[in-house]
């Protein structure tokens, strides 16, 4: 058990962030050790053929299985609440050489030739690594990122709502079964970390994750860096599922088949581009039909950062429940 002292400054500086780079790093554990991640098997079946055409071995070398340590420079704390992968990779490339070598020294076992080259020439090696991660993410995450981002942003909104209603105590005691907070101390049940530490006013960054797995991940024992706690977002088990129940024929006769399908797909709030991909329609067509549904009071919108999400209203839920599938 790791006991972490949180002072007033730490509690006042609790923030949320989403990290596409961390998701790329964590997803490697699924690819390398799939039997431990049954919920992600549908994703893995789809991405394996795409990954087979890439050389991502240097990236895989940095995430050993079983995973007792991941070098800090591979997934540094995100500097904004919603960084792009490009922004995080730019930070990766700018890692000081001494930090790269210190991170590589933490890895167990003999050092593969690829990591030895990174150790000898961190600047060139990091540029190569960033290109490899970008290619991996393009194949493994990009097709699913809109839906992943929606789930992660929803987790952030729920967490913010809990903090507003129940305070910091309610938030920290809800995040994960392996995390609890009482009497100024955050207790984290780590697989590989134990002892006591103090955040010393550096605050705490909470990062919900799709690929975190059943345990939490943190850098809370590392001094002089932004403390981060990464934990599994709720609803990950249904992320790769898609309902096979068709839109009601009766509802389609009233609204039109496309609008009925869009309402059906909005069981989870989504953006226009994501709906277009899932339904095989152009973004312009989807936008037109969503506008009609919004004007009819069946769809509402909410903005998360730069992104606009559509969601069914209570009227739409009642309409769908009354129509039912045929």
Q: Note the pLDDT tens digit of each residue in 63-117.
A: 998 878 899 999 999 999 999 999 999 999 999 999 999 999 999 889 999 999 9
pLDDT at 276 over 60: yes
Residue 324 vs residues 69, 135, 196, 238, 260: alpha-carbon distances, Å? 50, 43, 55, 21, 11
The whole-angstrom separation of Cα 94 and Cα 107 is: 21
Confidence (pLDDT) at 279? 87
pLDDT at 268 over 60: yes
pTM: 0.78
Confidence (pLDDT) at 326? 40
Confidence (pLDDT) at 246? 55
The rounded percent of the chain whose pLDDT value lies above 90 is 66
CATH number assigned to the domain covering 249-323: 1.10.10.10
pLDDT at 4 over 80: yes
pLDDT-derived band of residue 244, with 50, 70 and 90 as boundaries? Answer: very low
pLDDT at 245 over 60: no
Confidence (pLDDT) at 322? 75
Q: Where do the structural domains in the chain lie, given as residue ranges?
A: 2-236, 249-323
pLDDT in tens, 297-309: 999 887 655 667 7
pLDDT at 56 over 90: yes
For 196, the token pair is 């006591």
Confidence (pLDDT) at 144? 85
pLDDT in tens, 116-140: 999 999 999 999 999 999 999 999 9
pLDDT-derived band of residue 265, with 50, 70 and 90 as boundaries? Answer: confident
Residues 252-280, mean pLDDT to the nearest whole number:
86
pLDDT-derived band of residue 266, with 50, 70 and 90 as boundaries? Answer: confident
Q: Specify the higher pLDDT residue, 315 or 177.
A: 177
Confidence (pLDDT) at 151? 85
Confidence (pLDDT) at 241? 65
What integer best gives the mean pLDDT of the chain? 89
Residues 167-182, mean pLDDT to the nearest whole number:
94
């Amino acid at each position: 058990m790791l006991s972490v002292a949180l002072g007033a400054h730490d509690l006042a500086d609790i923030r949320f962030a989403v990290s596409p780079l961390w998701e790329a790093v964590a997803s490697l554990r699924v690819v390398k050790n799939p039997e431990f991640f049954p919920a992600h098997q549908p994703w893995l079946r789809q991405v394996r053929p795409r990954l087979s055409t890439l050389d991502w071995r240097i990236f895989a070398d940095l995430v050993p299985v079983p995973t007792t340590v991941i070098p800090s420079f591979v997934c540094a704390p995100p500097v904004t609440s919603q960084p792009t992968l490009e922004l995080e990779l730019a930070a990766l490339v700018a890692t000081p050489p001494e930090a790269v070598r210190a991170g590589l020294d933490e890895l167990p076992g003999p050092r593969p030739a690829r990591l030895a080259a990174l150790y000898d020439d961190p600047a060139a090696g990091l540029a190569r690594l960033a290109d490899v991660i970008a290619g991996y993410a393009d194949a493994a995450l990009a097709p699913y990122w809109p839906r992943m981002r929606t789930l992660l942003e929803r987790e952030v909104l729920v967490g913010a709502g809990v903090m507003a209603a129940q305070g910091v105590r309610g938030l920290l005691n809800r995040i994960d079964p392996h995390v609890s907070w009482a009497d100024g101390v955050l207790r984290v049940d780590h697989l590989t970390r134990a002892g006591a530490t103090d955040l010393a006013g550096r605050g705490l960054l909470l990062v919900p994750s799709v690929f975190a797995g059943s345990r939490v991940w943190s850098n809370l024992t590392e001094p002089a860096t932004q403390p981060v706690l990464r934990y599994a977002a709720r609803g990950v088990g249904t992320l790769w599922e898609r309902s096979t129940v068709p839109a009601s024929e009766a509802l389609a006769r009233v609204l039109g088949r496309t609008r009925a399908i869009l309402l059906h797909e909005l069981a989870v709030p989504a953006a226009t581009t994501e709906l277009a991909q899932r339904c095989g329609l152009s973004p312009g067509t989807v936008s037109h039909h969503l506008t009609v549904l919004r004007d009819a009071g069946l769809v509402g919108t909410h903005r998360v950062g730069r992104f606009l999400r559509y969601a069914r209203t209570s009227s739409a839920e009642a309409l769908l429940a009354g129509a039912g599938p045929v």
